[in-house]
Structure 1
Amino acid sequence: MATPPAPGIYVPVPTFFVSKKAATYDPIAAPVDIDTQVAHSLYLARAGIKGLVILGSTGEAIHLTNKERFEVLSGVRQAFEKEGFTDYPIIAGTATQNIEETVEQLKGAKEAGAQYGLCLVPGYFAGASTQEGVIRWFTAVADKSPIPIMIYHYPGVSNNVKVVPSTFVTLAKHPNIVGCKLSHGDVSYHAQIASSPSIDHSSFATFSGLGQQLLPVISIGAVGAIDGCAGFFPKTVVRLFELSLKNQPTDEEVQKRRLLQYKVSTMEEIIVKFGTVGIKEAVSRLRGFGDRDGTRLPLHGGIPGDDAEWAKWKEIVDAMEEEENSL
């Protein structure tokens, strides 16, 4: 059976597009900015992030052509190899609902240098969706995929299709399905999957998609998080993960990890409220990568309210920045 991604903190990175000031800028579909993509990816790898999800929801996968997908994935892979990050984990997202197209994207991802695929649960026909249909869809994709895949369960972008724990138990038995990302706040579902005695957790890893619940989900068997906040506060989220792993923490460590969880949970509210737009704004303002409103249509502009809205987050941003700089 295939091996799942190693435990740790992964980042669902945004896809960067060329600046409005560039000669190649197109207001309908700005070209991808590989240089900025590479710079941000290397920044995260050097900060202790275990691996990257490229072309997930944050990466606006549905806004890119297959040619652009290849350019982004291969550009980052080549940069990692050049800078000494040999075999650094890249998980390529897919958001298509046609099985053959999904497999084609997974084949392209392998060719570009990705080791895993993260496949979004199909949700167009939510009213007619069944657990058996979900099982058969993922089984068909996994049977044909040249790289191991993970189940991406994000009801918020899958028309509220919910995959029940028993479906994960069934799919976890497939030799080419190696884990899941659970991007929802149902901690009970996390427990029923990450702690299930019916799943071989050495071959199926459960990741939360929300750093907001990192500390509690680690205690029930999750192996890490694929977390947007770590895209601009990587060291802080990694430190929270490390403290969450301690089985016999000191009183000081208990207090520290609770405080870190509070800070991360509070900071993540900007992502809950603004999604990809909020992540891009934070990455740009705090780390200097890309434009604050560098998305593709139908996403348009940065955080509504711009400077006035960002000012509302100053207290928690400053607290997180102080934490980040201390690590």
Structure 2
Amino acid sequence: MASNGSKTQASPPPQGIYVPSPTFFVAEGTSSYNTTSPPLDLETQSKHSLFLVEGGVRGLVLLGSTGEAIFIKPEERVQLLKSQRKALDDAGFKDRPIIAGTATQNIDETLQLIKESKDAGAEYAMVLSPGYFAPATSQSGIAKWFTQVADRSPLPVMIYHYPGVTNNLFIAPSTFEQLAAHPNIVGTKLSHGIIDDQALIAASPKIDHEHFYVFTGLGQNLLPVLAIGGVAAIDGLAGVFPRVVVRLFDMFNQSLAKGMSKKDMDEMRLLQFRICEGEKLVARWGVVGMKEACDRIWGLGSRTGGRLPLAGGFEEGDGEWSKWSKVFEGLKDLENQFKSEDTKGK
């Protein structure tokens, strides 16, 4: 990998579906719970991580937006990363990389978090763009900021472009073309639905796509993004139904290799439709919805485990879950069907 100005070209993460994992906290009513900062629930975190990789997920993104990174203390970041690296390694999944998120505005602080993440077992850093002064930030300023980080980062860097949490900071495709040439910048997660901009990055002839991978942050865009040159998704719904999202990724690549038929495309479109139905919950409720679904569907974690202002899950009696339960029960059946098929195929 490149660091401290080295010109060695880093490698992107392996292609496949990644999950921006929620950070699990102990639930209300437990002895260690407190309303200000409920402790990490590392036991549930590890159960969830293994549930994902056993379902075919290629790796984990920890401490991203879904991981509530802005609520996590520095020492907790280290605990979380170390515990999940150990959980994966002990279970025989040493080949599943961990991508650690950073969400700071300051270059030196970002680099410190990356160093600590590397020491704790992360293989890549997913760096959120600095959006506090978004209206006054130029494309040149964005490019210089990421270049400074990448020049000194001890881990390969992925650019995290999520206008929804960065004051609508916009990174132009031309800026991505410039940054993609950096030897220590290896990809991006695009968490927006502007499909033409995604095409201008994922299909750009000015980018070396063997070195710079484009991941959509929206599973509802997986099939179209694969078609325009993206490699996969870092997707929230896969945190509840990993096999469902992985199946679409596998179907596309397998059909592409053998020669895609109309039947293949029809099946992929139908699966993409099912994914889009479930993604509506993730788009509306984010990590709150993911934790709600993990608890209600699989009994993983607690929907009341969170840090303010996100603590508490859906309000009891407001009927919110009933709006989603039919879709999610259908996806659960599909997940179990794919699990059964996978087991028979081994």
TM tier, smaller: over 0.9
Kindly report which structure 2 residues correspond to 1:35-50, keeping only aligned pairs within 5 A, or say none: 35-50=43-58
Residue in 1 aligned with 2:205?
197
Question: 1:30 Cα deviation (Å)?
Answer: 0.4
Residue in 1 aligned with 2:223?
215
Residue in 2 aligned with 1:74?
82
For the Cα contact (< 8 Å) 2:150–2:157, is it kept in 1? yes
RMSD: 1.2
Secondary structure at 2:65 match in 1: coil
Structure 1 residue 63 and structure 2 residue 106: aligned?
no
Kindly report which structure 2 residues correspond to 1:100-139, keeping only aligned pairs within 5 A, or say none: 100-139=108-147
Q: Distance in 1 between matches of 2:317 and 2:67?
A: 21
Aligned residues: 327
Could you tell me which runs of 5 or more consecutive residues in structure 2 were left unpaired when the two chains were aligned: 1-8, 339-346
Question: 1:285 Cα deviation (Å)?
Answer: 1.1
Residue in 2 aligned with 1:184?
192
Q: Distance in 2 between matches of 1:155 and 1:326?
A: 36
For the Cα contact (< 8 Å) 1:274–1:303, is it kept in 2? no
Residue in 1 aligned with 2:156?
148
Q: Distance in 2 between matches of 1:10 and 1:156?
A: 20
Q: Distance in 1 between matches of 2:300 and 2:230?
A: 30
Residue in 1 aligned with 2:272?
261
* Deviation by residue 1:264-301 (Cα, 9 ceiling, x = unmatched): 01110001111111111111111211111322112232
* Deviation by residue 1:117-175 (Cα, 9 ceiling, x = unmatched): 00001100012111111111111111111000100000000000010000001111111
For the Cα contact (< 8 Å) 2:27–2:306, is it kept in 1? no
Residue in 2 aligned with 1:274?
285
Q: Percent identity?
A: 52
The residue type paired with residue 124 of structure 1 is Y
Question: 1:318 Cα deviation (Å)?
Answer: 2.4
Could you tell me which runs of 5 or more consecutive residues in structure 1 were left unpaired when the two chains were aligned: none
Residue in 1 aligned with 2:261?
250
Q: Distance in 2 between matches of 1:52 and 1:243?
A: 21
Q: Distance in 1 between matches of 2:322 and 2:331?
A: 15
Q: Distance in 2 between matches of 1:162 and 1:71?
A: 33
Question: 1:322 Cα deviation (Å)?
Answer: 1.9
TM-score, L = length of structure 2: 0.92
Q: Distance in 2 between matches of 1:177 and 1:167?
A: 13
Consecutive aligned runs of 4 or more in structure 1 exceeding 6 Å deviation: none
TM-score, L = length of structure 1: 0.97
Secondary structure at 1:217 match in 2: helix
For the Cα contact (< 8 Å) 1:277–1:293, is it kept in 2? no
Q: Distance in 1 between matches of 2:36 and 2:114?
A: 27
Question: 1:306 Cα deviation (Å)?
Answer: 5.7
Structure 1 314/70 Cα, relative in aligned 2: closer, same or farther at 3 Å? same
Decide which of 235, 238, 242 is 2:246's aligned counterpart: 238
Secondary structure at 2:19 match in 1: strand
For the Cα contact (< 8 Å) 1:17–1:295, is it kept in 2? yes
For the Cα contact (< 8 Å) 1:208–1:225, is it kept in 2? yes
